[in-house]
Structure 1
Amino acid sequence: MTDQFWLTILSSSLISGIIAAVIAGVFSLRGKQSEYVNDYFKTIVVRRLEAYESLEQLINSLKLSVLDDDHQLYHQVFSNEAAWKDIYRRLLVATAHPLWLSNEVFAKTRELNIMLLQASTHNRDLVEFGKSNYAPIAELRDQIEKLHAKDMLTLHDVKCFLKKKKTSQGSFEPIDVRGG
């Protein structure tokens, strides 16, 4: 009878140990999966922050205006070739990673890119181009800045961002900047 008693105790201890090990393994596996997802989301947020920092530099570069002798305003970036090259470099950096920007922000920065591309392809005087396009560029910059602020409020919501990216309709559109 004592052998059967010890056998019962050992078998129940063994079964309890196996069950405890299985439960601990399941929780450990779930914890690792959750840790992986959290690390993945952190990476996405970091990449998005980098993209939005570049966008912020672009926005800030377009805030300084100059009043010309004829009392017309133009953005400082059109005042000389070096400033023009700098703003275009900032634009290229800001739009270099469209995956990390919201669809709306990328569309507006693309509009700005098209507008600025016209200045470089029409052999125009940069100052004159800046004067004639001051209001549209300022309005576009303002729209981009508002979208930037809106996106910063939800930057942490990676699932929502990825769903919107998944459903976005990307397309290739050639642009003819020769006709002005």
Structure 2
Amino acid sequence: MKTLTEDQKKYLMDSIREIPDFPKPGILFKDITTLLNNSEAFNLLMEHLTARYQEKNLDFVAGIESRGFIFGAALAAKLGVGFVPIRKKGKLPGTTIGEKYALEYGVDEVEIHIDAFRGREGARVLLIDDLIATGGTAEAAAKLIRDAKGECVEACFLIDLTFLGGKEKLKPLTSFYSVLEVV
């Protein structure tokens, strides 16, 4: 199932709990743990993503810490490709490369192992995370894939908070796909 029906999208969205005022007042947090503990919803999502990416000739799936690890590792296993974690600075052992990105009040950094793609220059990589908001972390992750000599084939998100415009930061770097949109 390469495309989802509106009913299937609604089912997935309804399986995601909303938590008001988390992590701070005014934020309506999309809690994916309720999708994860619903095997029917999680299987629907993974079947959809597997169908979408099975013919893209991927070499790796790269997931952004931490919820991207859940979707990325599961999808990589289904596709029979390697999984690569993209983590906050200082969390990976071994030699890494990093990319800084702007936060509302400051700067943060994500890292990838310099040999994440096992020396395969031009490795075809799917970037995945649960949600894209302003796009800073996703942009940094896509740049890391490039800097590690991979090709970011697409950036995939379960949810796009479209009103925050994050996908615009990815347009110069890769194509973009979201399963669900919150406008």
Structures share fold, TM-score greater than 0.5: no
Q: Mark the structure with the bigger radius of gyration.
A: 1
| Structure with more helix by fraction | 1
Q: TM-score, normalised by structure 2?
A: 0.28
Higher relative contact order structure (alpha carbons within 8 Å, sequence separation ≥ 6)? 1
| Structure with more strand by fraction | 2
